[in-house]
Amino acid sequence: MITDIFAPYEAGHKEQGPAITGVRINGQGEIAALTKSEFGLLHAEGRLKKAKTGIGSSALFLVSYGRRSTCHNGTDDFDFSDPHFRLKRIHSLFERKALLTDPVEFLTRLHYRGIRWKRPATGGALERMASLFRQELNIDSTAWLERDCDFNGELKKLNRLQQRITVMALDAARHLIGAHQMSIAPLDTPSLLLFDRPDIFCTRGMFPTWARLMDALFPHTQFIITLDQPSRRAFPWNLLSRTCTLPTTEETPRKLPSRLPQKAVLLVDLDSRLPNLALMKLSSFFKNQGRKVFLARHEARLAGVECVFASGVFSIASTLNRLSRVRRYYGDALVAGGTGIDVNLRLPPEVEGLAADYSLYPELGDRAIGFLTRGCPFRCPFCLVPAKEGDVRQVCDLDDLMTKGRRKLILLDDNILSHPKAKVFLEEMARRNLAINFNQTLDIRFVDRDIAKLLLRIQCSNVRFTRLVYHFSLKDNRNLDGVRRKYDLFGFTPGDNVEFVCMYGYDTNLAQDVERFRFLRSLPGAYVYVQPYRPPPGGEPANLAGFFDDRAAALIDELIRIVFPQNMKSMENYYRWISRLYAERFGRPHMSLVDTIFRYNRRERRGHYLAALCNGLDSERKNRSYVQ
């Protein structure tokens, strides 16, 4: 049984401090989790934590090595297809045939990213290794940092002892870099390395050199090694005083007091990605009465609360679960509303007419937020606006919104271009030289030559106002020729940023989605932001029975070839949705799609994803068999 006491520096403040975990390894090198009774054998102080499978798991990093080593030769798994890859990092401690990293393939990949593409994390790691190998092992590593390098030939130049030490160091480096995908200095991250008699594989004469090399290569790593008495005497004396200390628990200051003052009001923002305008107006209302107002994000359980107002924008499981917990705690003191909870519950007129309290969300800075108009003339069945807002109407003017000299406005209008005075609104924005984020997108169907000219005069921006962006929506693939004619009125170029929001999982099938994305890719400057259909409260789920046809595999191959120049994170979410749906429908994963999902981001999670996908298919097959 192997145990480890560690401080997971990536954990939240409630999970910081020492924790205890372990695994059980049998004589064949097979790994299993500890049972409850085996956990009872661990007497160190700290939280008990199960050992995790997977690839990265940087907060629980452990590698171990036995007395002999053999490395892969063209057989290494750099695509992370094995979900138990992380646990096998310790196999060589127990199994002489366990294979270490293919050094040629690893160095080639590291060189490609770090030298050819100048990635700082991999480039810095390769530079450190080249320098230390030259300094400690007398290896001529000059070519390692040149633009072209044949690592197969370079490693063949090494003598047998140099190869042994290099292979072991490269393996540890490979695992650290793989586990710390987001770190700028992965070799500097805390870790634990176990070695059984390193003086045997590197020889007693080279053992002090090996110790200095590993200490310099992994400066924040704790080493646990076994040695015989002569090797202990040969251990570099200056390294004996080096220690790795566990970080102490950090206290996070409370944002809210444990008990609110008498007659205080608690506002709970259940899920907003933007500041919640309704809560900002409620804050103004209660502050005008002289009452203290406190804002909690997601949820809070505070004593002494007289009244609680919770608002949720999205009707999704996480929002509803938070609401349920808040309701259980506060009972009748809670009033809950918002688009995701109750579309019929509105602010009273005396509250709706107040200015927003911007001190509630100081992160807004110099940005204003609000509505000029509400409502929409269309009755799209997937949309809440018809039931919640009704027909389009003006509810405010720019003077009311742009208080205290603000020059930036997050506009929440449902369909401002559908209002009869749309050109008047746009003209005023352009005349006042305002920066506007049309947060709910613009309806390109209402664009004509005059509106296009006005929008080009306005500083249309993203929500943070860090760059110019035009936001449109494209709900389906009907009348794409008309959309192109409207788009051409702007004269956009490939250097512009024009975002089209596309919904999926409602009334389009895969073939129509591919057609829509292919069309948008043909528009200069355009890119796509895809978002899933979420049924409104009481709404019907989408019928996906006809989403795939007999061309499904070929259409997915075409889909992944449509690559936009930016904002592909939302498209990755769409890929994952398609991947799960395809596996459920056809009983197998679409491997090209899986490879695309993990081509650039979180490649270390690929094996875990495939295992979860296949486990889901196995469960479904068992359920079908049981029903039959």
What's the pLDDT tens digit per position in 369-404?
Answer: 999 999 999 888 888 887 788 899 999 999 999 987
∠602-117-466 over CA atoms, to 5°?
A: 70
DSSP run (H or E) holding 20? strand 19-25
What domains, with CATH codes, occur in the chain? 1-51 (no CATH), 54-240 (no CATH), 265-351 (3.40.50), 364-577 (3.30.750.210)
Q: What is the gyration radius of the CA atoms in the chain, in angstroms?
A: 30
Q: In sequence order, what E strands does 163-241 have?
A: 191-196, 221-226
| pLDDT tens digits along 220-270 | 898 999 998 888 888 887 887 766 665 554 444 446 776 778 888 999 999
State mean pLDDT over 424-452.
Answer: 96
Residue 233, both tokens: 């005497």
∠172-173-174 over CA atoms, to 5°?
A: 90
CA distance 155 to 152: 6
| pLDDT tens digits along 601-610 | 777 678 778 8
Which of 212-216, 267-271, 300-304 bottoms out in mean pLDDT, i.e. has the lowest? 300-304
Beta bridge partners of 267: 295, 309
Residue 8 has pLDDT above 70, yes or no: no
Which of 49-58, 187-196, 273-282 bottoms out in mean pLDDT, i.e. has the lowest? 49-58
Give the residue with greater pLDDT, 535 vs 174: 174
| pLDDT tens digits along 529-556 | 999 988 876 777 788 889 999 999 999 9
**pLDDT at residue 433, rounded to an integer:** 93
3-state SS, residue 241: coil
State mean pLDDT over 121-137.
Answer: 95
State mean pLDDT over 69-82.
Answer: 82
Yes or no: say if 369 and 409 are a contact pair by the CB < 8 Å rule: yes
Which distant-in-sequence residues (6+ apart) come within 8 Å of 293 by Cβ? 264, 265, 267, 282, 283, 286, 287, 357, 360
| pLDDT tens digits along 40-73 | 776 656 667 666 555 555 556 788 999 887 899 9
**pLDDT at residue 528, rounded to an integer:** 94
pLDDT, averaged across the chain: 85
Question: Percentage of the chain with pLDDT > 70?
Answer: 86
Confidence of residue 12 (pLDDT cuts 50, 70, 90): very low
Residue type, 560: I
3-state SS, residue 102: coil
State mean pLDDT over 304-330.
Answer: 90
Dihedral sign for Cα atoms in the order 446, 449, 454, 459:
positive
Dihedral sign for Cα atoms in the order 362, 366, 367, 371:
positive
Residue 149 has pLDDT above 50, yes or no: yes
**pLDDT at residue 60, rounded to an integer:** 61
- Residue where the block lists tokens 């490395």: 71
- Residue where the block lists tokens 């092992």: 137
**pLDDT at residue 5, rounded to an integer:** 36
Which of 7-21, 156-170, 310-324, 398-412 bottoms out in mean pLDDT, i.e. has the lowest? 7-21
Residue 282 has pLDDT above 60, yes or no: yes
Residue 362, both tokens: 């100081």
CA distance 391 to 473: 19
Residue 33, both tokens: 């989790």
**pLDDT at residue 622, rounded to an integer:** 42
The Cβ of residue 251 has, within 10 Å, a number of other Cβ atoms equal to: 8
Residue 200 has pLDDT above 70, yes or no: yes
Residue 350 has pLDDT above 90, yes or no: yes
State mean pLDDT over 559-579.
Answer: 89
State mean pLDDT over 20-30.
Answer: 66
CA distance 92 to 25: 12
Yes or no: say if 22 and 11 are a contact pair by the CB < 8 Å rule: no
Residue 83, both tokens: 């979900």
State mean pLDDT over 501-511.
Answer: 92
Q: What is the C-alpha end-to-end distance of the chain, expressed in Å?
A: 43
Choose the most confident range, by mean pLDDT, from 62-66, 255-259, 288-292, 565-569. Answer: 288-292
Residue 491 backbone zone (phi > 0: left; psi -120 to 50: alpha; other: beta): left
pTM metric for this prediction:
0.68
Which of 83-97, 494-508, 561-575 bottoms out in mean pLDDT, i.e. has the lowest? 83-97
3-state SS, residue 520: helix
**pLDDT at residue 17, rounded to an integer:** 55
Which distant-in-sequence residues (6+ apart) come within 8 Å of 514 by Cβ? 555, 558, 559, 562
